[in-house]
Amino acid sequence: MDIIVVGLSHKTAPVSVRETVAFPPEAMQAPLEQMLALSEVREAIIVSTCNRVELYAASTNGDAATVQLKQFLADYHQIPLETLDSHLYAMQGEEAIRHVFNVTSSLDSMVIGEPQILGQIKTAYGYAAEHKTAGLILNRFLHKAFSVAKRVRTETNIAGNAVSVSFAAVELARKIFGSIEGKTVLLIGAGEMCELAAKHFVNNGVTRVLVTNRTFARAEKLAAEFSGQPVLFENFHDHLHQADIVLSSTGATSFVIEADQVQAALKQRKNRPMFYIDIAVPRDIDPRVNDVNNVYLYDVDDLQGVVNANLKERHKEAEQALEIIEHEIGQFQSWMAGLDVVPTIVALRQQIETLRQAELEKTFANLKHLSDSDRKTITSMSSALTNKFLHPPTKALKQAQKDSEAQQYVDALQVLFDLKIAAPEGKLKAVESD
């Protein structure tokens, strides 16, 4: 069994591509079940954030599973694979394990050290657990990834000098307005990203916060945290002109702000500049808004240039984090190797025992004059020989497991002795806690 990762991220695909393959969080059951139904996939998890879409799978045939996962991603979103393939990456085994550990530890994030990704992957794992598409392998794998991320945050300063997408938005606002003291911000959406943005803006001088959300109660709750004003979602366009800064992060599948609405708001503001930040995937704001004079629109990709200046210290800490990850990879591989070591030892012993019993029966059939005492002596001797014969390969396998080299020994023994290892029954094993 092996770990497989197929996906794309901000490093391989622009937001215009990432938004076409995003999976809505409220509708994860169907894609998870379809992914699990692939013949070479035994367990499945889907991670879908604004910066990445990744498929995690457990499979006994990594190459075939990779082909199926790529095709699934293209077919599910009705995109020709040849259009998508150049943006995709695919990893197996140690490379896949290292990648996911890097992702959960935020070393692969647009902003190194940002805390959101760990929560997002925990949410993705929760969906898989809820819909029973994650079993023994991925359950243990994700729990290990979570513990690795915890170690990195505890033992390094990777999260120091707080940097996030919302903080980058504050930096951009400062550049545009010179100062954001006394400014008004409108948050479209009441999720975690909007809450973080509100904290950053208020801490940096914004005095008025407007909040709108499709669920008005959530808008009221977030607005209350900042002594702000909740706004009905169906009416928020009427309040655009009041906002100097508009940050949008919803789960909408089409634009919630059009260029003509921004033009109208700007006219009411007597052409005073506006700053629009679109951190949603798919995007919330029509890109043509950027063509309106005195309006500045940035999406999640545009924020990259702003955050880079804040990352030098985090890159230093990342070196220490990578050492932690390399150590943890070895531990997880040892556990994975153990999944093959134990069945191989059992199969080898069963095969030798079967041969021993067969030879004893043939011997006793030809030596019928033997007494019961003689038979017991011969039986004990054959058993002792069997144990002495099996001791070196068993010891070598167990030692190799500790050194993450067990697979080489397992493969050799299975070929040399023609061992038949029973495949796991069904798609999933029982879920196990870490």
The backbone region for 268, taken as left when phi is positive above 0, alpha when psi lies in -120 to 50, beta otherwise, is: alpha
Least Cα distance to 169 among 121, 111, 125 occurs for 111
Please enumerate, as own/partner, the contacts of 211-220 that have beta carbons within 8 Å and a separation of 24 or more.
Answer: 211/186, 211/187, 212/186, 212/187, 212/188, 212/236, 212/239, 213/188, 213/189, 213/250, 214/250, 215/190, 218/190, 219/190
Residue 292: CATH number of its domain:
3.40.50.720
Do residues 9 and 147 both lie within one domain?
yes
pLDDT for position 158: 84
Per the domain annotation, does 313 fall within a domain? Answer: no
63-118 pLDDT per residue, tens: 999 999 999 999 999 999 999 999 999 999 999 999 999 999 999 988 788 888 99
Q: Are 281 and 19 in contact (CB under 8 A)?
A: yes
Task: Please tell me the least confidently modeled range out of 100-114, 228-242, 301-315.
Answer: 301-315
Do residues 116 and 231 both lie within one domain?
no
pLDDT for position 434: 36
Do residues 171 and 262 both lie within one domain?
yes
Do residues 23 and 58 both lie within one domain?
yes
Per the domain annotation, does 386 fall within a domain? Answer: no
Per the domain annotation, does 50 fall within a domain? Answer: yes
Look at residue 255 and tell me whether its pLDDT is greater than 50: yes
Alpha-carbon distance 293 to 271, whole Å? Answer: 8
CA angle, corner 257, sides to 118 and 124, nearest 5? 20
Least Cα distance to 96 among 146, 142, 157, 48 occurs for 142
Residues in CB range of 96: below 8 A, 6 or more apart: 2, 3, 4, 5
Share of the chain above pLDDT 70, in %: 92
Do residues 227 and 291 both lie within one domain?
yes
pLDDT for position 162: 54
pLDDT for position 420: 74
211 DSSP β-pair partners: 187, 230
Locate 121 and state its tokens. Answer: 């992957």
Do residues 154 and 171 both lie within one domain?
no
Question: Domain boundary at 140, 161, 182, which?
Answer: 161
* Amino acid at the residue 336: M
Banded pLDDT at 418 (limits 50, 70, 90): confident
Do residues 67 and 210 both lie within one domain?
no
Do residues 260 and 131 both lie within one domain?
no
Per the domain annotation, does 233 fall within a domain? Answer: yes
- Please tell me whether residue 207 adopts helix, strand or coil conformation: coil
Per the domain annotation, does 384 fall within a domain? Answer: no
Q: What is the dihedral of CA 38, 40, 46, 52, to 10 degrees?
A: -110
Banded pLDDT at 306 (limits 50, 70, 90): confident
- Give the chain's mean pLDDT: 88
Look at residue 407 and tell me whether its pLDDT is greater than 70: no
Q: Are 156 and 321 in contact (CB under 8 A)?
A: yes
pLDDT for position 377: 93
Per the domain annotation, does 257 fall within a domain? Answer: yes
Question: Domain boundary at 245, 278, 304, which?
Answer: 304
pLDDT for position 424: 47
- Please tell me whether residue 159 adopts helix, strand or coil conformation: coil
Share of the chain above pLDDT 90, in %: 64
Range of the domain at 55: 2-161
Alpha-carbon distance 97 to 325, whole Å? Answer: 10
Do residues 142 and 274 both lie within one domain?
no
pLDDT for position 303: 79
Segment 314-325 shows an average pLDDT of 87
pTM higher than 0.85:
no
Alpha-carbon distance 31 to 92, whole Å? Answer: 21
Locate 5 and state its tokens. Answer: 């990762």
In this structure, the strands spanning 184-188 and 245-248 are: parallel
Going 23 to 25 to 27 to 28, the CA torsion angle's sign is positive
Locate 140 and state its tokens. Answer: 């243990």
- Please tell me whether residue 52 adopts helix, strand or coil conformation: strand
Segment 49-58 shows an average pLDDT of 95
Do residues 172 and 290 both lie within one domain?
yes
Q: Are 81 and 71 in contact (CB under 8 A)?
A: yes
pLDDT for position 333: 80
Per the domain annotation, does 173 fall within a domain? Answer: yes
Per the domain annotation, does 40 fall within a domain? Answer: yes
Residue 130: CATH number of its domain:
3.30.460.30
333-346 pLDDT per residue, tens: 877 776 667 777 78
Overall domain count for the chain: 2
Alpha-carbon distance 35 to 45, whole Å? Answer: 9
Question: Domain boundary at 259, 283, 304, which?
Answer: 304
Locate 211 and state its tokens. Answer: 């909040």
Q: What is the dihedral of CA 147, 150, 156, 160, to 10 degrees?
A: 150
155-191 pLDDT per residue, tens: 998 876 656 677 788 888 988 999 999 999 999 999 8
Banded pLDDT at 433 (limits 50, 70, 90): very low
Do residues 209 and 279 both lie within one domain?
yes
First to last CA, the chain: 18
Which has more pLDDT, 162 or 226? Answer: 226
Segment 287-311 shows an average pLDDT of 85
348-401 pLDDT per residue, tens: 888 888 899 999 999 999 998 899 999 999 999 999 999 898 888 888 777 766
Alpha-carbon distance 335 to 341, whole Å? Answer: 10
Residues in the chain: 434
Do residues 71 and 148 both lie within one domain?
yes
Locate 304 and state its tokens. Answer: 């990259």
pLDDT for position 155: 93
Segment 111-132 shows an average pLDDT of 91
Q: Are 237 and 259 in contact (CB under 8 A)?
A: no
Banded pLDDT at 419 (limits 50, 70, 90): confident
Helices and strands: H and E segment counts in the chain: 15, 10
Please list the active-site residues. 50
12-42 pLDDT per residue, tens: 999 999 999 999 988 999 999 999 999 999 9
371 C-beta neighbours (distance < 10 Å), count = 8
